[in-house]
Structure 1
Amino acid sequence: MKLLCALSVLLLASAGAVSSSLPVRRYGSIFNFGDSFADTGNDVVVFAAHSLANPSSRPPYGMTFFGHPTGRNSNGRLAIDFIAEELGLPLVPPSLAHNGSFRQGANFAVAGAFARDASFYRDIPLVGPLALNTSSGVQLRWFESLKPSLCHPAQECKGFFHKALFFMGEFGVNDYSFSLFGKNLSQIRSFVPDVVKTISTATERVITQGAKTVVVPGIPPMGCSPLNLAMFPSADPAGYDPRAGCLKQLNDLAIYHNSLLQEAIKKVQTKHRDVKVIYADFFSPIIDIVVSPQKLGFRGEILSSCCGKYNFNVSAGCGMPGATVCQDPSSYLYWDGGHFTEAAYRYIAKGWLNTINNYHA
């Protein structure tokens, strides 16, 4: 039961406006790819098709903003939602669960998605059967199949996508999190370059479709998540960062991924000088909150979950019978074992908007 609850989270993995320091360039639409950090409801469709339990489709998910579950792995809005609001666009609809127009954007992200093809992970004991075919390549095919409903002929599509904002990821966390159940960290580090190459190739693919602004987020500090702290504790006190209390080796893995990703993005930018290819830091904002929570308005147990209490009781995960919910989600960083609260996503979105506004190739 403990493991099943943990795997569910791997699959699903404050008031005041979000405002950046400069006026945001106006975009006509947003197209988003990724995993549970950006999924706005595709998981409901995908999981149902595979007869899998989907905790994010049950209360108390969505309780803070929507008042009901939406398939988002949070108590409310995600970073992509805050960014859409700041741009004056509707919340980006999930491509598999929306019955309407996608002219102002579409979200192809799915909880549990990998960067690389899912076949790389199906031989991993226990988690292999949960490696669903929703990787970055699959999401790009969904995007390409949607194009005829957005624009035609090809010349019109180029102009249409010139005015769109693209988000490529976050990808990578599931590639590494699933692998932790069957590989050691040395083995996992060995395929980080391939994961990064897959992301940079996907970025170039949307550029060939006409994208002029592509934001590529890195991954958050994996060693700080309550789920990983519970599932992979270190027997050596030196295995924890004394400043943050996070698992050093897992955070080092995230730092390695982000370093290679930034190098890859620079190469893509060099090849496409008329395109903005922007790295969005997902690591530093989380560390900021972990190290200085009260300064940033977070007062709860910073390495604990608001919902499900993974660090205490992993058998009663968020959305499952017996789960507990904290009194004030806005005071917490983590909503469930591996995902963030609306308050955290608001802070992340603010940083990303500033990066987009101030970007110079």
Structure 2
Amino acid sequence: MASLRVSMSILAFYLSYFILISNYSLSQSSICLPKNHTALFIFGDSLFDVGNNNYINSSTFLQANFPPYGETFFKYPTGRFSDGRVIPDFIAEYATLPLIQAYLSPAGFQDHYIYGVNFASAGAGALVETNQGLVIDLKAQVKYFTEVSKQFRQKLGDEEAKKLLSRAIYIFSIGGNDYGTPFLTNLTSGAVLPCPQQKFVDYVIGNITAVIKEIYNEGGRKFGFVNVGPLNCFPLLRMAINSTSLSACLEEEASAIARLHNNALPKMLHGLEKQLKGFKYSVTDFYGALIELMKYPSKYGFEEGNAACCGGGPYRGDNSCGGKRGIEEYELCNNVNNNVFFDSLHPTEIAAEHFAKLMWSRNGDVNEPYNLKELFHYF
């Protein structure tokens, strides 16, 4: 019976999607956008990627297009690093939008960009050098966005395109790979970052600032960010450094540099709010929210807050989920809904939904100065 309910929910979801897109497809004819129409444009890394890396020459470490990924909701792997949906899927649902498709999806979805586009790429960073050649870095993602913006102006006209772009929400999950990848690739060499921590953070923040300004110049006004998580506390890094406690992993260098980034990000955004007319933003404390789930899983309906559902080794942290990444054998937990982490770096669908709800409607200790619902409906 539960399986039937899930199947019916998926069918209803896709029926609603195709009804929506049939009403508002982007064509050569003149389109008058519905009143208060708000699109969603998505940038970043594997926390937000819905399958762009399926279509590039990448690595299986940066792809999730094989089982058991996707099996909870979609019943097949979509390229999402989850057993089902990821955070932007839920944000789109709360905003009464259809699933926002990957930019590199096969022909057929390009006519429906008025709902938004997902440019995120697993492994991507704010720095071009992060996993270079295997991902769509943030600069390249924004280049793709400017192509979409150009299409809007060509097909909608300048006035309608301006309305769409200024009403739209632009959400980001970026920075974690810039800080985490050097630690993973230099665990035994000692020298990790190419420069002092604060200088490296300034470099990352500077690249993010440049991207925001580029989108602003295209018409974007409303931006949402999740900050960087506690990197050394993810099962992959926790296994790699043999960290036995949550308090210990928080003191490791990658988690410490994440906190430097998380202090710098809202300061930069607050400065842009003073500098750029009409600029509004939201920052969600993903770092704090994830630590909360890891410390007190039962408080939020989970049984396991530290070990992944899929993988092997301590904390199931060896990144073997699916058996396509050099290690064929892996374990899969009995009930994915009991776990905060699905694989060694990513949340389960139910945990992603938890984070999306926080982004959407929580204030104060989680979001500043606004939540996403406020950006969608009140500005």
Does the 8 Å contact 1:79/1:349 carry over to 2?
A: yes
Change (3 A) 1:314 1:51: closer
Residue 209, structure 1, aligned to residue 218, structure 2: yes
Query: Which of the numbers 77, 83, 96 marks the counterpart of 2:85?
Result: 77
Query: Which of the numbers 322, 330, 338 marks the counterpart of 2:337?
Result: 330
Q: Which runs of 5+ in 2 are unaligned?
A: 1-5, 7-34, 362-370
Query: Which of the numbers 30, 48, 54 marks the counterpart of 1:44?
Result: 54
Change (3 A) 1:188 1:111: farther
Does the 8 Å contact 2:149/2:218 carry over to 1?
A: no
Amino acid at match of 2:281: V
Which residue pairs with 2:164 in the alignment? 160
Q: State the shift of 1:133 in Å.
A: 5.2
Which residue pairs with 1:132 in the alignment? 134
Q: State the shift of 1:250 in Å.
A: 2.6
Give the TM-score, by structure 1 length: 0.81
Which residue pairs with 1:21 in the alignment? none
Residue 110, structure 1, aligned to residue 118, structure 2: no
Residue 342, structure 1, aligned to residue 349, structure 2: yes
Query: Which of the numbers 260, 266, 269 marks the counterpart of 2:264?
Result: 260
Amino acid at match of 2:145: F
Aligned residues: 320
Tell me the SS of whatever aligns to 2:134.
Answer: coil
Structure 2 CA distance, aligned partners of 1:53 and 1:292? 30
Structure 2 CA distance, aligned partners of 1:358 and 1:31? 16
Query: Which of the numbers 336, 356, 360 marks the counterpart of 2:372?
Result: 356
Which residue pairs with 1:35 in the alignment? 45
Q: Which runs of 5+ in 1 are unaligned?
A: 1-14, 16-24, 122-127
Q: Which has the higher contact order (CA 8 A, sep 6+)?
A: 1
Q: State the shift of 1:51 in Å.
A: 6.7
Tell me the SS of whatever aligns to 1:184.
Answer: coil
Segment drifting more, 212-221 vs 31-40: 212-221
Tell me the SS of whatever aligns to 2:310.
Answer: coil
Question: For each residue in 1:283-312, what CA deviation from the matched residue of structure 2 results, as whole angstroms up to 9, or x when unmatched?
Answer: 111011011110011112x21110113526
Give the TM-score, by structure 2 length: 0.77
Change (3 A) 1:187 1:75: same
Structure 2 CA distance, aligned partners of 1:317 and 1:281? 29
Moved over 6 A (4+): none
Structure 1 CA distance, aligned partners of 2:331 and 2:114? 40
Does the 8 Å contact 2:308/2:343 carry over to 1?
A: yes
Structure 2 CA distance, aligned partners of 1:289 and 1:313? 17
Change (3 A) 1:211 1:55: closer
Which residue pairs with 1:171 in the alignment? 174
Structure 2 CA distance, aligned partners of 1:77 and 1:28? 21
Which residue pairs with 2:314 in the alignment? 311
Q: State the shift of 1:94 in Å.
A: 0.1
Does the 8 Å contact 1:227/1:311 carry over to 2?
A: no
Change (3 A) 1:336 1:315: closer
Structure 1 CA distance, aligned partners of 2:41 and 2:265? 20
Tell me the SS of whatever aligns to 1:56.
Answer: coil
Q: State the shift of 1:265 in Å.
A: 0.7
Structure 2 CA distance, aligned partners of 1:316 and 1:208? 40
Does the 8 Å contact 1:226/1:337 carry over to 2?
A: yes
Amino acid at match of 1:147: S
Does the 8 Å contact 1:31/1:165 carry over to 2?
A: yes
Change (3 A) 1:328 1:241: closer
Which residue pairs with 2:254 in the alignment? 250
Structure 1 CA distance, aligned partners of 2:249 and 2:298? 16
Structure 1 CA distance, aligned partners of 2:94 and 2:122? 24
Residue 269, structure 1, aligned to residue 273, structure 2: yes
Q: State the shift of 1:241 in Å.
A: 4.5
Structure 2 CA distance, aligned partners of 1:40 and 1:218? 19
Structure 1 CA distance, aligned partners of 2:100 and 2:153? 18
